[in-house]
Chains A and B, each alone.
Chain A
Amino acid sequence: MATAVATHAHPPTSTGLDHRKIAIWAFIGSECMLFASLISTYLIYKGRSVVGPFPHEVCDPAVLGAIKCPTKMNAILNIPVTSMSTFVLLMSSLFMVLALAAVENRGKPGYEGLLGSSKFWLMATAIAGATFLGFQAYEFTSFVHEGLTIRTNLFGSSFFTLTGFHGAHVTAGVLWLLTLFAIDVKRGLQPKDALLVDISALYWHFVDVVWIAIFTLVYLIR
């Protein structure tokens, strides 16, 4: 006779898959549509602001020549700072997969020491997420000081709405990671808990892929 069902087992389902994992993928699917609508709004309003500040240089003399570009307006988007925050978020995804691998492979050869420390990788992911939020807070503050608020122009409205929604998602992700870290400290996450970490990891990576799209569409494409 087969062994007894472990306490972490999900109830029998018609698909044979855990409902929680199906639910998180369905949620991520719906989030795709939410962010597509926000990105669409940003792109539709792009270049239609009547007053500045504008996202990119209104006229780039290096491209058009000084004669065609008599009045140059500086770009408000800070690409070096945002590139750094993008790199931090990409690295946070690496930390997250390592946290999941540490939980899944706890006690297995090759997962001793730092590589097998889910606490370390979960905290590293949360710190990277918090660092990204710090970059965003710096960016938002500097924009306000330069005269761009959510009410200034179409760019301000659509930009703050899009990046603000993303920042809210990152905040929720950081809180989720800190909760997992607290559970790990309290009782230690075991391989039977891998699904809990897997679900949070899927959410975290989704937040990362949304930023990959935002970074290119909002920051890099002029």
Chain B
Amino acid sequence: MPDHHDQFTHTNADIDVHAMGEVHEHPTWKQYKWVAVILTLITILEVWAYYLPSFVASPAFVPILLIMSALKFAIVVMFYMHLKYDHKLFRALFTGPLMIAMATLISLLFLFGKFMGR
């Protein structure tokens, strides 16, 4: 009959996988490099847009900046924080509070009339 310790005995490989909570391999150095390049390009686009007076005056300015920012946010979370590859519990622990936070932010902005052109 196995003793108590045997019930929870793993190989070293098992332990590493469990300890990290990973499901897949992490990205490679080349993928990390390309992620950094994409993040830099989006940041350059954001700053460039800021200096275009005609674009700043257009109604598309704020939505496009928000989309670019959300894209950068998602890229860092998925690739650098490995949420794309990690256990679904970690995804839930992050996206759940993030959704609550965003709903709170938007609700507060509505409550204080920020979307009413005041």
| Contact between chains at B101 and A36 (CB < 8 Å) | yes
| Contact between chains at A33 and B68 (CB < 8 Å) | no
| Contact between chains at B100 and A33 (CB < 8 Å) | yes
Interface residues of A in 26-47 (CB under 8 A from B): 26, 28-30, 32-33, 35-37, 39-40, 43-44
Q: Which of A5, A97, A198 is B8 in contact with, Cβ under 8 Å?
A: A5
Chain B residue nearest to A82 in the complex (CB):
B47
| Contact between chains at A83 and B47 (CB < 8 Å) | yes
| Contact between chains at A86 and B94 (CB < 8 Å) | no
Tell yes or no: A90 within 8 A of B by CB. Answer: yes
Number of A-B contacts (CB under 8 A): 175
Tell yes or no: A72 within 8 A of B by CB. Answer: no
Query: Could you say which interface size class chain A belongs to?
Result: 35 or more
Expressed in whole angstroms, the minimum distance between the Cβ of A52 and any Cβ of chain B is: 20
Interface residues of A in 165-210 (CB under 8 A from B): 191-192, 194-195, 198, 201-202, 205-206, 208-209
Query: Could you say which interface size class chain B belongs to?
Result: 35 or more
Q: Which of A3, A8, A15, A28 is B11 in contact with, Cβ under 8 Å?
A: A3
4 extra interchain contacts, Cβ-Cβ under 8 A, other than A8-B19, A221-B62?
Answer: A44-B112, A101-B26, A192-B16, A208-B80
Binding site for B on A (CB under 8 A): 1-6, 8-12, 15-18, 21-22, 25-26, 28-30, 32-33, 35-37, 39-40, 43-44, 60, 62-63, 79, 83, 86-87, 90-91, 93-94, 96-98, 100-101, 104, 110, 115, 191-192, 194-195, 198, 201-202, 205-206, 208-209, 212-213, 215-217, 220-222
Question: Which 9 residue pairs of A and B lie closest in terms of their CB atoms, listed nearest first?
Answer: A29-B97, A36-B101, A216-B69, A25-B93, A62-B53, A12-B8, A94-B36, A17-B21, A40-B108
Binding site for A on B (CB under 8 A): 5-12, 15-16, 18-21, 26-27, 29, 32-33, 35-36, 39-40, 43, 46-47, 49-50, 53-54, 56-57, 61-62, 65-66, 68-69, 72-73, 76-77, 80-81, 87, 89-90, 93-94, 96-98, 100-102, 104-105, 108-109, 112, 114
